Amino acid sequence: MSDISIRITGRAGRITLTRPHALNAMTYEMCLAIEDAFDAWRDNDAVDLIVLDAIGDRAFCSGGDIAELYATGTKGDYAYGQKFWADEYRLNAKIFAYPKPVVSFLQGFTMGGGVGLGCHGSHRIVGETSQIAMPECGIGLLPDVGGTLMLALAPGRIGEYLGTTATRMSGADAIFAGFADSYIPELNWQKVTETLESTGDIAALDAAKIDPPASPLAAQQDEIDVLFDGETLSDILTNLHVKDSPFAQESLKKMGRMSPLAMASTIEALHRLRGPSLSIEKALDLEYRFTFRAMEHGDFLEGIRAAIIDKDRNPSWQFANMNVPTAAVAKMLQPLGKDALKLEKMT
């Protein structure tokens, strides 16, 4: 497959995304090929660990390739997108629970589907160019691919902030928020990868990592915890309007570009997930309830039209006044019954 290179090199299973012209956006075919590789290497004694990386300086993976989702959805075919998301989520869960080390090198943009691919493994490496984000609310989705799990686990109300504003994290920010583990200067990544291949020993990562720079996100946490501490989107917007600080104004500006329904659903999802029973399975199940309905009942198709197709950056969102009824959120997140997400292939 020209979009991806899958091979065994030394002691490592190697998966390299090779679509730099498309910021390594992941197609459906790439998703299935990656899952097949993970399945094949699980019980292969020749493979001690898996290394995920990508060619090009601009992106590890900028997200899922959504052109086909739009093409099918606008024709009233919602089944293609529903199957795409179900299969992608199964891969996310498989990476999260994988019994061997999974090392990902996250240069440049790692967003949306790229987070699902690169940020569920056991060893997530960032560097100088890393920019990690969950921008789904900007296209009418809630953060998915297991993103709600990481947002729910982030310190304080960082999850609400990142999920509703799509703010990009630096490498240091990503470590602070729980989306990455180690900071290694990118000039050393090739040498580290070669050591992983030759030894199959993740000790090479500890030997190469350095202390990350200061995290701007960590410095903002106190204000974020106050402003984004609300039960609903309306509560958070009230906090932001009352505070009227430069940070609050910037947050309102970012949220003004997002789907109100998606933001309100994101906040509700994070509140439902937090607690001792949080799991990747629960997060993906809740996300799938939303994405399953996103084309027919949500803002997804309009969000893609405005951002990708017509590129007018002027979406006509539902509830554009930001007053999202509780019933609308409940409808998007209610159980799917017989259509619920199934992850049986994990076993």
Share of the chain above pLDDT 90, in %: 96
Delimit the domains of the chain by residue range.
4-346
In DSSP terms, 49 is beta-bridged to 12
How confident is the model over 323-346, as a mean pLDDT? 93
* Candidates 53, 88, 144, 287; catalytic one: 144
List the single range of 39-43, 63-67, 278-282 with lowest mean pLDDT: 63-67
CA 245 to mean position of chain CA atoms: 29
For residue 201, indicate whether it is catalytic: no
**Phi (first) and psi of residue 181, to 5 degrees:** -115, -45
Given this model, what pLDDT does residue 342 score?
95
- The DSSP secondary structure of 138-150, one letter per residue, reads GGT--S-TTHHHH
In DSSP terms, 105 is beta-bridged to 125
Given this model, what pLDDT does residue 157 score?
98
Residue 345 has pLDDT above 80, yes or no: no
For residue 225, indicate whether it is catalytic: no
Residue 346 has pLDDT above 80, yes or no: no
Tokens of 82: 């529903």
Residue 267 has pLDDT above 50, yes or no: yes
For residue 113, indicate whether it is catalytic: yes
- Per residue in 158-217, pLDDT tens? 999 999 999 999 999 999 999 999 999 999 999 999 999 999 999 999 999 999 999 999
* Candidates 53, 136, 181, 268; catalytic one: 136
**Which DSSP helix (H) or strand (E) runs through 114?**
helix 113-118
pLDDT-based confidence at residue 64 (cuts at 50, 70, 90): confident
Contact criterion met (CB below 8 Å) for 169 and 220: no
For residue 144, indicate whether it is catalytic: yes
- Per residue in 232-255, pLDDT tens? 999 999 999 999 899 999 999 999
Residue 292 has pLDDT above 50, yes or no: yes
* Candidates 13, 108, 112, 113; catalytic one: 113
Given this model, what pLDDT does residue 344 score?
79
pLDDT-based confidence at residue 347 (cuts at 50, 70, 90): very low
Residue 311 has pLDDT above 90, yes or no: yes
- Per residue in 91-119, pLDDT tens? 999 999 999 999 999 999 999 999 999 99
- The CATH number for 4-346, chosen from 3.40.50.2000, 3.40.640.10, 3.90.226.10, 3.20.20.70, is 3.90.226.10
